[in-house]
């Protein structure tokens, strides 16, 4: 299992990245929830800090997804490397070949016994253990992302509604300013044209009221403009955050789906290969016994008949099992192709880098 020796270390490193990113996601989500409340304001310093944190989350997201994607590819490489073990089951060991110098029958018997007793469960179990660990990380992170996405999307909608309300207030203030301009000009003209002191006094009082309202509206306009611009900046920043969460969820689903189907395929293939090799060995023994028919006594013939019947029954059972496995394997192959295509589309760069340098090595 040399190819898997550094997997635990890589998985631990990825887990740390995930936990660190999870902390930043929670912090950003909490800030968004606070800002979604109409009585909350955030200054430029907070904005810059939050913006930097969200950018860091997006960068770490790509690192984490790349690491896990490479681990999954590495598991495939490790699976392919185990092919040599299957080949070894077909051939003779050095000791068996040495024994064969003196007795071909002993040589064959030793190999048959070795194949019959050999189990690939250890290799398969270690692969499944690594897969389960990675899937556990992915599912835990996806749950966090799903929960945070729902709350953050709600908060973002509230921020957008805040901006809509601000723009509506701004529009109303600007409209009132436009109305006050001609009203002030009209009062000014009436004051200039009036010769009656009492009338002038009343007009000047009216002008004072209009001028006060005009100044208040202008001040309010500046306040609302600043608020609208701030809300626009935060809407854009938090939209990026929510989009990032959505992309992460999609990536987690792609990774989980591929890893799950790969695991199913490994179980089916390992079982089929192991049974196939052991069946071949049993058939080989049955064939050799049959060819010795004329050289053995009655006891040997009875043994041969028993073994032949048992072999035929076992072969029949295996053929039936093989038929079922072929159906299952066909369905897995179809689903695996879909998962592989989705994986390749999303992690094309990781695949290219992996093929060039093989990150996970023995």
Handedness of CA 47, 53, 59, 64 (dihedral sign): negative
Question: Which tens digits make up the pLDDT trace of 28-84?
Answer: 888 888 877 766 666 666 778 888 888 888 888 888 888 888 888 877 777 666 655
Query: Contact, 214 vs 183, CB < 8 A?
Result: no
- Reported as a single tens digit per residue, the pLDDT across 99-133 is 778 887 777 777 777 666 665 556 667 777 888 88
What number of residues does the chain have? 362
pLDDT tier at 221, thresholds 50, 70, 90: very high
Claim: this prediction has a pTM higher than 0.85: no
Give the list of residues 6+ apart from residue 237 with CB closer than 8 angstroms, or none. 47, 50, 51, 54
pLDDT given for residue 303 in this prediction: 41
Q: Cα separation of 187 and 207, whole Å?
A: 6
Handedness of CA 149, 154, 157, 163 (dihedral sign): negative
Q: Which residues contact 171 (CB under 8 A, 6 or more apart)?
A: none
Residue 183 has a pLDDT of: 92
Taking only the tens place, the pLDDT of each residue in 165-182 is 999 999 999 999 999 999
pLDDT at 306: 47
Q: CA–CA distance from 327 to each of 62, 124, 333, 334 (Å)?
A: 37, 21, 10, 11
Torsion region of 118: left, alpha or beta (phi above 0 gives left; psi -120 to 50 gives alpha): beta
Q: How much is the pLDDT for 293?
A: 44
Task: Please state the separation of Cα 71 from the chain's center in Å.
Answer: 12
pLDDT for residue 362 is more than 50: no
Chain centroid to CA 84: 31
What token pair was written down for 22? 């999870």
Neighbours of 194 (CB within 10 A): 15
**Angle, in degrees to the nearest 10, between helices 7-36 and 44-81:** 150
pLDDT of residue 280: 54
DSSP 106-172: HHHHHHHHHHHH---HHHHHHHHHHHHHHHHHHHHHHHHHHHHHHHHHHHHHHHHHHHHHHHHHHHH
């Amino acid at each position: 299992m040399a190819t898997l020796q550094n997997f635990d270390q890589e998985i631990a490193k990825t887990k740390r990245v995930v936990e660190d990113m999870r902390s930043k996601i929670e912090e950003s989500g909490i800030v968004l929830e606070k800002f979604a409340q109409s009585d909350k304001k955030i200054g430029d310093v907070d904005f810059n800090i939050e913006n930097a944190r969200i950018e860091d989350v997006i960068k770490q997201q790509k690192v984490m997804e790349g690491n896990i994607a490479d681990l999954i590819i590495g598991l495939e490489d490790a699976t392919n490397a185990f092919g040599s073990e299957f080949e070894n089951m077909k051939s003779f060991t050095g000791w068996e070949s040495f024994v064969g110098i003196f007795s071909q029958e002993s040589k064959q018997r030793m190999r048959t016994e070795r194949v019959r007793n050999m189990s690939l469960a250890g290799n398969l179990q270690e692969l499944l253990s690594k897969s389960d660990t990675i899937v556990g990380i992915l599912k835990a992170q996806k749950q966090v992302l799903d929960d945070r996405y729902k709350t953050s999307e709600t908060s973002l909608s509230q921020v957008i509604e805040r901006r809509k309300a601000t723009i509506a207030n701004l529009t109303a203030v600007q409209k009132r300013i436009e109305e006050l301009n001609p009203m002030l000009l009209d009062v000014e003209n009436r004051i200039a044209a009036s010769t009656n002191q009492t009338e002038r006094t009343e007009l000047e009082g009216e002008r004072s009221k209009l001028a006060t309202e005009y100044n208040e509206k202008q001040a309010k306009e500046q306040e609302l403009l600043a608020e609208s611009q701030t809300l626009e900046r935060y809407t854009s920043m938090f939209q990026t955050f929510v989009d990032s969460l959505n992309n992460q969820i999609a990536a987690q689903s792609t990774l989980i789906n591929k890893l799950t189907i790969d695991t199913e395929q490994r179980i089916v293939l390992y079982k089929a290969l192991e049974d196939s090799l052991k069946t071949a060995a049993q058939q080989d023994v049955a064939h050799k016994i049959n060819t010795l028919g004329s050289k053995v006594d009655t006891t040997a013939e009875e043994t041969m008949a028993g073994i032949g019947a048992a072999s035929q029954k076992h072969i029949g059972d295996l053929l039936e099992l093989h038929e079922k496995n072929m159906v299952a394997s066909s369905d897995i192959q179809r689903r695996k192709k879909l998962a592989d295509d989705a994986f390749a589309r999303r992690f094309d760069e990781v695949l290219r880098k992996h093929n060039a340098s093989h990150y996970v090595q023995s």
